[in-house]
Chain A
């Protein structure tokens, strides 16, 4: 079945450690996104990529990094520079074009101990 796979679903991190969240899609979508969700704040855009080997910062990119070496993969690294990393992270993708529908993965919950 076509879809977006995020892993791991749950992740615990000690302060000062970098962690990488995986996002893989088999929908043949060009555009991929990372959002962060916190209670009461809605979804906020971290990074997005519209094509392989290209990505742009979203509204809250500080403390995060991404890569887009393959069309189907868009991993997110939460670095030690991110001051408040505990959150629910959502990966999404869509085909390019004005009418592209956005699809989401199941999310990854990161907790900093």
Chain B
């Protein structure tokens, strides 16, 4: 079964720093990988979706990369702000089942002023 791991579980950085969140998965047979943000007590908000044929996706200060062969993805956040504080989750959609995503447990990010 596909296992998704996110390290570290928690991260604290001062405002303005650039940071990288890591996601690894055990089986490279995936349709796509998706990054989400979750604020406390809220649902998940989709940030970026990377198809298996793509290497990266960008949205504003966020850049996500995908190295399918090594089973890794990174989410790069530029010039972090206190409003970026949240839990970030990655999920992969496996081949061939493909019906649902396998989620990591997330990285809890705190950006301090």
Contacts and interface: CB of A to CB of B under 8 A. Distances in A.
Contact of A48 (B41, B45, B99): B99
Q: Dominant SS at the A interface?
A: strand
Interface string B73-100: 0000000000000000101000000111
Interface residues of B, number: 22
A56 interface: yes
B43 A109 contact: no
Interface residues of A, number: 26
B42 interface: yes
B45 A102 contact: no
B49 A98 contact: no
Contacts of B105: 40-42
A42 B106 contact: yes
Interface of B: 31-32, 34, 36, 41-46, 49, 51, 89, 91, 98-101, 103-106
Interface of A: 4, 6, 31, 33, 40-43, 45, 48, 50, 56, 58, 88, 90, 92, 98-99, 101-107, 109
25 contacts: A4-B43, A33-B100, A40-B105, A42-B104, A43-B89, A43-B91, A48-B100, A88-B41, A90-B43, A90-B44, A92-B44, A98-B31, A99-B32, A99-B49, A99-B51, A101-B49, A102-B34, A103-B46, A104-B36, A104-B44, A104-B45, A104-B46, A105-B43, A106-B42, A109-B41
Would you list the 6 A-B pairs with minimal beta carbon distance, nearest first?
A104-B43, A42-B105, A104-B44, A43-B103, A106-B43, A107-B43
